[in-house]
Amino acid sequence: MPYELLVGLRYTRSRKRAQGRNRFISFISLVSMFGIALGVAALIVVLSVMNGFQEELRTRILGVASHVQVQSPEGGLMAWQQVADESLRHPAVRAAAPYVQEQGMLSFDEGVRGTLVRGVIPSAEDKVADFGRYMQAGSFDALQAGRFGIVLGRDLAAALRVRLGEKVTLIAPQGLVTPAAVLPRVKQFEVVGIFEAGMYEYDSSLALVHIADAQALYRLGDAVSGVRLKLDDLFAAPRVARELAMTISEPGLVVADWTRSHANFFRAVALEKTMMTLILFLIVAVAAFNIVSTLVMAVQEKYADIAILRTLGASPASIMAIFVLQGSVIGLVGLAAGVAGGLAIAHNLDVVIPALETITGATLWNKEIYYINELPSQVLWSDVSTIVTVSFVLTLIAALYPSWRASKVNPAEALRYE
């Protein structure tokens, strides 16, 4: 073993007989290790949660929404079949489905809730969305033209206290003009299914009906609100939307992809991830620079030892290497503990969060605030490697100045009063 490594490891270890400043330096070393471990673990857990949240949000949004929407700015698209056929000619488009989307109000017993009414063709909608997979009760295929069936989100059904097979009243805001007054259009719908997408926004406000029933209720005739498209690659949506806007023959249509229609969600998550990363790296930096104080005190304590090593022929570079190794060992031990702890927590959040909620009695994850009903986690090894690399570089930088000071010790001055 090179003597620089041997001496550096001896300086790092806490000796049983250490007294006074030696014991205090060992305590500061442990504090530095703990600070680095805590910062690294927090970084891994937070970035894993942010990655999982972003992926889960995207998956659940696109399980109910669509990759690309083609719609008329006036709100009525007559030639929707032509638009769907032209869209399907694009090699990246996998499926197309027409839809009607309007506002409404649902009433049952004494409960009233505002809702977003979406008229769909179940067989076509299953190709662009995942409602069939999200059904908790009933059947999505039970939506049939003329039957006036309705499929509700789970939270919407719970708010209305309505169950499968019961009838709710759907009130359309467009009114009927009569000699006496303007009356809203009202129609009873039978609840034929309840879905749970896992996103509170949809589960609490979305109601699905057959497209023919929606056209009849809202007096659209054969027109629809637009056509929803599913792509082979969801990340190609911006490019495909631009290409479709130039190739569809129907003039005046708006082609919007999911990155535009839900841009605020993903921008907010990306910004929050960036800011949390910077803040937590500052915590790691503070912990890493605690090594400066540890090594400065170690250099002061070991002045005589350094002088003796110099008189025995140790070069300034060797002295500097001893203290760089001491700082590196502190950093590596803290990094190893932080990575192990962070990965353990990130992979077991489904156990950790309920346990913390039980202990504290507080709700740590509210689906009404965070849109999804569980805390996701996705560990990316690219993030872990970046965290480890940057943290280790910070510990090395922190160790440079005290090590340089140690290499400049003058043996004659250090041993004058020994």
* Residues 156, 161, 163, 167, CA torsion sign: negative
Average pLDDT, the chain: 81
Position with higher pLDDT, 276 vs 116: 116
| Residues 6 or more apart whose Cβ sits within 8 Å of residue 162 | 108, 109, 111, 152, 168, 191
Please report how many Cα atoms fall inside a 13 Å half-sphere around the Cα of residue 20, on the Cβ side: 4
Question: Among residues of the chain, what percentage have pLDDT more than 70?
Answer: 87
Please give the helix or strand (H or E) that residue 120 lies within, else none.
Answer: strand 111-120
Distance CA 178, CA 197 (A): 41
Predicted confidence at residue 17, as pLDDT, reads 46
Distance CA 351, CA 242 (A): 44
Q: What is the pLDDT of residues 138-175, one digit of tens each?
A: 888 889 988 899 999 999 999 999 999 899 999 887 76
Q: Residue 391: helix, strand or coil by DSSP?
A: helix
Predicted confidence at residue 251, as pLDDT, reads 81
In 312-380, where does DSSP find H-type helix? 316-346, 349-360, 367-370
Q: Flag whether pLDDT at 226 surpasses 80.
A: yes
Looking at residue 371, what DSSP letter applies?
S
Q: Flag whether pLDDT at 191 surpasses 90.
A: yes
| Residues 6 or more apart whose Cβ sits within 8 Å of residue 88 | 95, 96
Distance CA 156, CA 118 (A): 14
Q: What is the pLDDT of residues 308-354, one digit of tens each?
A: 877 777 788 888 888 888 788 888 888 899 999 989 988 888 777 77
377 touches 346 (CB < 8 A): yes
Predicted confidence at residue 192, as pLDDT, reads 93
Q: Flag whether pLDDT at 180 surpasses 60.
A: no
Q: Flag whether pLDDT at 392 surpasses 60.
A: yes
Q: Please report which confidence band the pLDDT of residue 179 belongs to, taking 50, 70 and 90 as the band edges.
A: low
Q: Give the mean model confidence (pLDDT) for residues 369-397.
A: 80
Tell me the Cα Rg of the chain.
32
* Residues 400, 405, 406, 408, CA torsion sign: positive
Give the phi and the psi of residue 205 in degrees, each rounded to 5. -145, -5
Complete DSSP assignment for 198-252: SBHHHHTTEEEEEHHHHHHHTT-TT-BSEEEEEES-GGGHHHHHHHHHHH--STT
Q: Give the mean model confidence (pLDDT) for residues 75-94.
A: 88
Give the phi and the psi of residue 119 in degrees, each rounded to 5. -90, 130
Q: Please report which confidence band the pLDDT of residue 1 belongs to, taking 50, 70 and 90 as the band edges.
A: low
Q: Flag whether pLDDT at 418 surpasses 70.
A: no
Q: Residue 184: helix, strand or coil by DSSP?
A: strand
CA dist 264 → 20, 226, 261, 267 (Å): 57, 22, 8, 5
In residues, how long is the chain? 418
Strands 149-153 and 182-195: parallel
Give the phi and the psi of residue 324 in degrees, each rounded to 5. -65, -40
